[in-house]
Chains A and B, each alone.
Chain A
Amino acid sequence: NAGVTQTPKFQVLKTGQSMTLQCAQDMNHEYMSWYRQDPGMGLRLIHYSVGAGITDQGEVPNGYNVSRSTTEDFPLRLLSAAPSQTSVYFCASALRVNQPQHFGDGTRLSIL
């Protein structure tokens, strides 16, 4: 059972570049979300989805897009990378928002 799989694990971008962070889960979870974590801090919600075809904004959505075409996949797109987006990004999934969240191993992203 793979759980939540995030790719890539590490990425370095130049300012202005775009990229997509991939997230896939094999637990048939309806709820998926993306967080960013800056050094020594908690997690801030970027976007979330309560099911295929449904997405909504979290606390810090600017500069990021998401889509949920299938139950399994929830990619996060950086439109035009900025140094302020340097962070560790975590994807999580759960049956519902108030159920245990299963996290991926994170993507460590540096924007130069």
Chain B
Amino acid sequence: TQLLEQSPQFLSIQEGENLTVYCNSSSVFSSLQWYRQEPGEGPVLLVTVVTGGEVKKLKRLTFQFGDARKDSSLHITAAQPGDTGLYLCAGAEGGATNKLIFGTGTLLAVQP
């Protein structure tokens, strides 16, 4: 079973600060997804990255897939209270297994 480690586990910052969340594995993924989850709800997809080295931007959020497709990062610029939530990365195993494995999660709190 592949293990996806996210860091940091918890992050509490002030509005306007920048932050980066990391998602690391020793294994290669065919694609990697990022989700945000709010209390009492299911995760909601933010972005999917497929190609090694790929960078995608979603307003103030920048996602990068590592060149070797083993890791990814999420950078938030000028965080806002509305960014508060649990951020989850999820890697799709290639080949015949068809598993989507989620990371350990990063709980972000943005204080006004």
Q: Check: B99 CB closer than 8 A to any chain A CB.
A: yes
Q: How far is the CB of A42 from chain B (nearest CB, A)?
A: 4
Least CB distance, B36 to chain A, in whole angstroms: 12
CA of A33 to CA of B93, assembled, Å: 14
Pairwise interchain contact B45-A100, C-beta atoms closer than 8 A: yes
Q: Does B76 lie at the interface of the complex (its beta carbon under 8 Å from any beta carbon of A)?
A: no
Binding site for A on B (CB under 8 A): 1, 4, 6, 30-31, 33, 35, 40-45, 48, 50, 88, 90, 92-93, 97-105, 107
Check if B42 sits within 8 Å of A90, measured CB to CB.
yes
Please encode chain A, from 42 to 53, with 1 for each CB lying within 8 Å of some chain B CB and 0 for all others.
111100101000
Contacting residue for B98 out of A97, A103, A104, A105, CB 8 A: A97
Is there a chain B Cβ closer than 8 Å to A12's Cβ? Answer: no
Contact of B105 with A33 in the complex, beta carbons under 8 Å: no
Interface of A toward B, CB cutoff 8 Å: 4, 31, 33, 35, 40-45, 48, 50, 56, 58-59, 90, 92, 96-101, 103-106
Q: Is the CB of A45 within 8 A of B48?
A: no
Q: What's the minimum C-beta distance from B96 to chain A, rounded to whole angstroms? A: 10
Hey, which chain B residues are within 8 Å of A43, CB to CB?
Answer: 43, 88, 90, 102
B105, A48: Cβ atoms closer than 8 Å: no
A95 to chain B: closest CB distance in Å?
A: 12
How far apart sit A48 and B42, CA to CA, in the bound complex (Å)? 17
Residues of chain A within 8 A of B48, CB atoms compared: 98-100
Q: Is the CB of A101 within 8 A of B99?
A: no
7 nearest A-B pairs in the assembled complex, by CB-CB distance:
A103-B42, A42-B105, A43-B102, A98-B92, A98-B31, A100-B45, A97-B98
Residue in B43, B88, B105, B107 whose Cβ sees the most chain A Cβ within 10 Å: B43
Measured between beta carbons, the chain B residues less than 8 angstroms from A35 are 102
| Closest residue of A by beta carbon distance from B46 | A100
Beta-carbon contact of B41 and A40 below 8 Å: no
Q: How far is A106 from B92 in the complex, measured between Cα atoms in Å?
A: 22
